[in-house]
A and B are shown apart, each in its own frame.
Chain A
Amino acid sequence: MTTTLGRPGTRPSAARLGLYRAAIELKTFFRERDAVVFTFALPAVILALLGAIFDGVYPGSDVTSAEYLAPSMIAAGIASTTFVNLGTGIATDRDDGTLRRLRGAPMPPSAYVIGKILMALVVTVGETLLLLGIAVVAFDVRLPTDPARWFTFGWVFLLGTTACALAGIAASSLAGSARSAGAVMHLPYLVLAFVSGVFFTPVGALPGPLITLGSLFPLKWMAQGFRSVFLPDSILPQEVVPSWEHGRIALVLAAWCIGGMLLCLTTFRWHGRRGR
């Protein structure tokens, strides 16, 4: 090789470019009305609506239907801002030329992934705070004071966010175009929200086969984990089994993290379906 290229060595690091990518991704996300309405606002609207519609107190406890709904909706909110957000976002990037342009620039691929993950993380934290705010203000959900419960909240949030984000990145390859991406991502999201006992409460009242179906996916376990943070143990008879099953929650979510990572590595495509 005879040619000196550019000015190697002074190219910015992948970590720094990842931060720049995150900034541009966030800017783009919050300027796209579709994304903000369907990904960010929709879970809050559903929580407010269902919380207002559901009424009554579960027998044997002082937990209202709205209080029961709120932690599950936090889980669904996370699934929306990670799984749906990343799935549609990456499918769109593949379709509209974003990925092609980035591959044409001297950008390490990891910078793109870092940018997407940071963007999803920021949006997810914002979503969670919004839903918690609605739950506390409108539905009298009490924030726990026991640090052990916040510790549970922390690991469920972390594992759940990671699992759903990886599943979203993997699922982005299923959408053929940007236009179909919304439908391709929202359908499984809505189905899972029902069979995981989020939109339908309590989870224990779901038909057996649907419970089995929901138990295969992370949303059910994430919702159960958050309920264990915000609800008293007196609600346990309404669960599928009368236990919070923390060990099993951690196991399923971790398994989805690993499986999701493997799926991403095997299915991720930089190119659209036009072939190479």
Chain B
Amino acid sequence: MTDTPAVRVRGLRKTYGDTLAVDGVDLDVAAGEVVALLGPNGAGKTSTIEILEGHRDRDAGEVRVLGHDPARAGLDWRTGIGIVTQDGADLTELTVREAVRHFARYYPEPRDPDDAIELVGLTGKADARVRTLSGGQRRRLDVAIGVVGRPRLLFLDEPTTGFDPQARRQFWALIRRLAADEGCTILLSTHYLEEAEALADRVAVIVDGRIVAAGTPATLGGRATARTLVRWADGRQETDDPAALVASLTRRYGGVVPGLTISRPSLEDVYLDLIGDPS
């Protein structure tokens, strides 16, 4: 069972009127993996995720989520997935505990609601009305509701948009805990490069509805094999073997090489290159 990929997408297409939002996306997420769908705003991330969640129709392509087609899957399939959307503004008049407890009721074997609240770090806010929560707390409540049914696969659509840096760090710690301690498979979308790098086992970069690169954060866009730039006080050189170059420089200078720096393209360089940013 665990060999079944959590998500398998081939040739996914979606158009809105004349606008092509998703243009032949292929995507695989293995069980237990954390995969980030990284791309600028309007790249097709949310459309793709909503199709996988069964919230949106597709025009073409093959989609399997937990072995089923989300467009036709029933309520039993839904017990296996958790969804955290980017703009939920509901539940305002309930308390955190009432909201989580209510959603626990839909699932056959839910978590203890108080455990789910503790998992996301909202125990101190359990009796607070949802409308009094900050943006970060509100998203953490969404995660608590998303995981209260013990899903095997969790969707997070741009979960930290609008967060301050501290709230973002706290949220990342929560996601890492879910993945590491709870063994949850996670597909998240984000337009923050550092978020994808911090959380994901694998990153798929999506631009204009197409996946333009995929891999681990370390190898994305050929980063691991790219030539290294060595710079020193009197010169610069690109090389495949920086160690040998530095050794020969050391010999030439008879010791310390003045102003020596060795750099590979940063993930940001690679990403900006991939999304075609002219800067």
Contacts and interface: CB of A to CB of B under 8 A. Distances in A.
B216 interface: no
Interface string B52-85: 0101110000000011100000011111110101
A93 B93 CA distance: 13
A3 B105 contact: no
Given A11-B79, A17-B106, A24 B94 contact: yes
A106 B149 contact: yes
Contacts, number: 105
B56 A11 contact: no
| Chain A interface size, under 10 / 10 to 19 / 20 to 34 / 35 or more | 20 to 34
Interface in A1-54: 1-12, 17, 20, 24, 27-28, 31-32
Interface stretch (A96-104, A149-157, A167-175): A96-104
A204 interface: no
Contact of B79 (A2, A6, A100): A6
Given A7-B108, A28-B94, A276-B56, A106 B68 contact: no
A236 B79 CA distance: 60
A100 B107 contact: no
B253 interface: no
Interface in A73-126: 93, 96-98, 100-101, 103-108
Nearest to B75: A106
A104 B53 CA distance: 7
Interface in B94-134: 94, 98, 102-103, 105-109
Interface string B29-56: 0000000000000000000000001011
A40 B149 CA distance: 36
A6 to B, nearest CB: 3
B106 A98 contact: no
B172 to A, nearest CB: 23
B80 A5 contact: yes
Given A27-B94, A96-B89, A104-B53, A8 B83 contact: no
A80 to B, nearest CB: 20
Contacts of A27: 93-94, 98
B75 A107 contact: yes
Given A24-B98, A27-B93, A101-B85, A5 B55 contact: no
B95 to A, nearest CB: 10
Given A10-B108, A11-B79, A108-B75, A2 B67 contact: yes
Given A17-B105, A107-B106, A101 B1 contact: no
B182 interface: no
A228 B278 CA distance: 78
Contacts of A4: 1
Contact of A3 (B4, B53, B102): B4
B88 interface: yes
Contacts of A100: 55, 85, 88
Contact of B68 (A5, A20, A96): A5
A45 B134 CA distance: 37
B194 to A, nearest CB: 27
Given A97-B90, A105-B78, A11 B67 contact: no
Contacts of A17: 105-106
A106 B76 contact: yes
A215 to B, nearest CB: 39
A96 B1 CA distance: 37
A96 B130 CA distance: 13
A5 B66 contact: yes
A6 B107 contact: yes
A7 B89 contact: no
B106 A106 contact: yes
A20 to B, nearest CB: 5
A3 B68 contact: yes
A114 to B, nearest CB: 14
A244 B22 CA distance: 62
A275 interface: yes
Contacts of A104: 53, 55, 78, 81, 83, 85
B240 interface: no
B273 interface: no
Contacts of B4: 2-3
Contacts of A24: 94, 98, 102
Given A6-B108, A107-B106, A275 B1 contact: no
Contacts of B106: 11-12, 17, 105-107
A7 B56 contact: no
Interface of A: 1-12, 17, 20, 24, 27-28, 31-32, 93, 96-98, 100-101, 103-108, 275-276
Interface of B: 1, 4, 16, 53, 55-57, 66-68, 75-81, 83, 85, 87-94, 98, 102-103, 105-109, 145, 149
10 contacts: A1-B67, A3-B4, A8-B76, A12-B106, A97-B85, A98-B90, A101-B83, A104-B81, A105-B78, A105-B149
